[in-house]
Structure 1
Amino acid sequence: MKKSFQACLAFFISATFLSCQNGKSEQEKKVYSTATVITAVNIIDIHNGSISKRDVVIDSGRIKEILPNLPEKDWEDGELINGEGKYLLPGLAEMHAHIPSVMWNDPQMEETLFLYLSNGVTTIRGMLGHPLHLELREKANNNEILSPRIYTSSPSLNGNTVTSVEQAIELVSAYQKDGYDFLKLHPGIRLHVFDQIVKTAKEVGIPFAGHVSTLVGIRHALESGYASVDHIDGFLEGLVPESAHVNPTENGFFGYNFTEKADPDMITELAQMAKENKVWVVPTQSLFTRWFSPSSAELLAKEPEMQYMAPEVIENWVNSKRNLTEGADYNADQWEDFLDIRKQLIMALHKEGYGLLLGSDAPQVFNVPGFSIQHELQAMVDAGLSPLEALQLGTLNPAKYFHEEGNFGEIKEGASADLILLDQNPLEDIKNMQNPAGVLVRGKWLSRDTIDQKLKALANKFEEPKI
């Protein structure tokens, strides 16, 4: 009996050894046969910028394994993507996006969502919510549509939509019950109404984010616990000493009118307040380097990415920029000073604040969805961040913001397969983020050819008919 048991044990060990020697188990081979594998790709560790050459196995929308050069026979039936000489990094989050208020199957919706994906934006935080977006979010989460992952705000809470304490209680409670991810605050809210919004939001458990009303002020806003302050709104006004006796409602475009009165020595205080109260900031700096810049509206309108927007949209953008920057109250020298203060704020909030999130406010004036994230990355580098730090604002930080660390925003086993494949290293030049070789959105591969074909079809739709 003893010899029989030993013989069986020896056979089992031998069989197991031979199975291992012959490669993967039948179950693992079956997984590989349905997988997408990116071979011999340079993986960028978004935490520290280190690079390692690996094979990435993707199955069921997730990163199954990251392995050194497996034999090709292990996945001979799977979809292979040659990553030789290319670079892989996590998909980006656009943390100040706008989504059309149309049905999920409307062509405009499909086109907008694809524009985000075309530049590697695989997560969006919609900043002007609508009931239709709740259905859209679920369809995206269930992979029923081709779309970035979606988080959506409530409809706007502003000085016109919420004018009383009673309205604040009613709307905040209703939006939380409806299932919106957070409340969107716009300007014009009176202080006592704002305080009720905050009180009710904390009671029912829904975050709030967005603009800072002039009657609230940045210090009170930070102490109230915004999830994020967008556009760096209210910060420049917060740099004006009380001794200046300014009327806060005369601040102009995000504090532009107070540029010469701002005291940069007060920046550290505001950054530390943001840190103490755990308030993220979304700069949307490209809004100010494009829409609010002295650059020509006509030249911006001729940029290649504008071909993907309807002609009437471009015309509206041109008029909007002219109206904002061609008046007597606007001059290029003051804009330079204004932009310099914003850059100082960005660096202080990055180094001494709670953290920054990547967002461009697309589609806004001359900010085409997807493409505008490239302008925002460049703006962050121009403000003093390294390319790696700029990329972290759109990867690691959004995952932390949404309490989804390990689920997206980095390349690791078990994470969602939201990835960008690049021809060149973006850590050497942030411009290398442009024109990705391909994008994976929850495991679905969009090759460069596929992206180009869809973009061409969109451009043809808006092309003027030839007579």
Structure 2
Amino acid sequence: PVNRTRPADIENLRLAVRTFDDGLAATLAERFVADGTWQVPTLIRVRTQELCDDPAFADDPDLRFMGDATVRAWKAAARKFAAFPPEARETFRAVYRRQLELTKLFDDAGVPMLAGSDCSGAAWVVPGASLHHEFDELARAGLAPLRVLQMATLRAAEFLDATDTMGTVEPGKRADLVLLDADPVESVDHLHRIAGVVRAGRHYGKADLDALKARVAARA
């Protein structure tokens, strides 16, 4: 939105919100299913665009992994966004709500979807951490925890045509695992409770992961 500064641009967004049609969206979803067209909602990317001045972004502790120049640029974008008149910012929020609705509609229709964050160059989108934010946004859209888990694992392997080596935990498949201390099928929140990682057969406990993150933050 910081690049959509003309009144005509904002009016186009209002028109898109006002004329959104569930029936037409369902027809599109049916076409996607029939054609095998995959979708990656990247809701966290949309959220950082449409709610750029949300204080939670500037207070995110994961900003320590980004360089100072990058954080300054992101804060400058947020200040520019905050200068939009209230009615324009409400339009942006309405657009985001429609994106959530569309994601749920696609999921209900069986559109194949993946979890992703489109982090390259995006304000407030921290690589790695943003995928966890995406999990939360998918839950906000109404997707079931199992569906979110599959979008980050099994479905990704299916899209890559790599289910013979990844996507599920089975003998003979790659030993690349994220270990959790709670059941992710019960709640999307449990996807954040990482107890360890196995990468190429090597185990990294929580202390190892904390040390790795500390080194990354020190170099930022």
Answering whether residue 97 of structure 2 is matched by residue 348 of structure 1, we say no
Identify which of 174, 179, 186 aligns with 1:421: 179
Partner of 1:258: 16
Partner of 1:362: 119
- In structure 1, C-alpha distance between the alignment counterparts of 2:133 and 2:35, rounded to whole Å: 29
Deviation at 1:294, TM superposition (A): 5.6
Deviation at 1:329, TM superposition (A): 8.2
Any conservation in 2 of the 1:251–1:257 contact (CA below 8 Å)? no
Any conservation in 2 of the 1:426–1:433 contact (CA below 8 Å)? yes
Structure 1 pair 411/304, CA: closer, same or farther in 2 (3 Å)? same
Any conservation in 2 of the 1:251–1:258 contact (CA below 8 Å)? no
Write the deviation string for residues 199-244 of structure 1: whole angstroms up to 9, x where unpaired.
xxxxxxxxxxxxxxxxxxxxxxxxxxxxxxxxxxxxxxxxxxxxxx
Structure 1 pair 326/279, CA: closer, same or farther in 2 (3 Å)? farther
- In structure 2, C-alpha distance between the alignment counterparts of 1:429 and 1:351, rounded to whole Å: 19
Unaligned runs of 5+ in 1: 1-249, 463-467
Task: For CA contacts below 8 A with separation 6 or more, give which structure has more relative contact order.
Answer: 2
One-letter amino acid of the structure 2 residue matched with residue 453 of structure 1: A
Deviation at 1:455, TM superposition (A): 1.2
Map of 1:333-412 to 2, 5 A cutoff? Answer: 333-363=90-120, 364-412=122-170
Map of 1:115-154 to 2, 5 A cutoff? Answer: none
**What SS does the aligned partner of 2:84 have?**
coil
Any conservation in 2 of the 1:274–1:353 contact (CA below 8 Å)? no
Structure 1 pair 432/354, CA: closer, same or farther in 2 (3 Å)? closer
Any conservation in 1 of the 2:154–2:167 contact (CA below 8 Å)? yes
Structure 1 or 2, whichever has the larger Rg, is 1
Partner of 2:3: none
Deviation at 1:402, TM superposition (A): 0.9
- In structure 1, C-alpha distance between the alignment counterparts of 2:14 and 2:148, rounded to whole Å: 25
Identity of aligned residues (%): 24
Cα RMSD of the aligned pairs, angstroms, is 2.4
Identify which of 77, 102, 107 aligns with 1:320: 77
Decide which structure has greater strand share.
1
TM-score (norm. length: structure 1): 0.42
Partner of 2:37: 279
Deviation at 1:325, TM superposition (A): 5.2
One-letter amino acid of the structure 2 residue matched with residue 450 of structure 1: D
Aligned length: 212
Deviation at 1:346, TM superposition (A): 0.7
Answering whether residue 54 of structure 2 is matched by residue 296 of structure 1, we say yes
Partner of 1:309: 66
Decide which structure has greater helix share.
2
Any conservation in 1 of the 2:41–2:116 contact (CA below 8 Å)? yes
Deviation at 1:406, TM superposition (A): 3.2
Choose 385-394 or 259-268, whichever is displaced more: 259-268
- In structure 2, C-alpha distance between the alignment counterparts of 1:255 and 1:412, rounded to whole Å: 47
Any conservation in 2 of the 1:406–1:412 contact (CA below 8 Å)? no
One-letter amino acid of the structure 2 residue matched with residue 311 of structure 1: D
- In structure 2, C-alpha distance between the alignment counterparts of 1:440 and 1:255, rounded to whole Å: 44
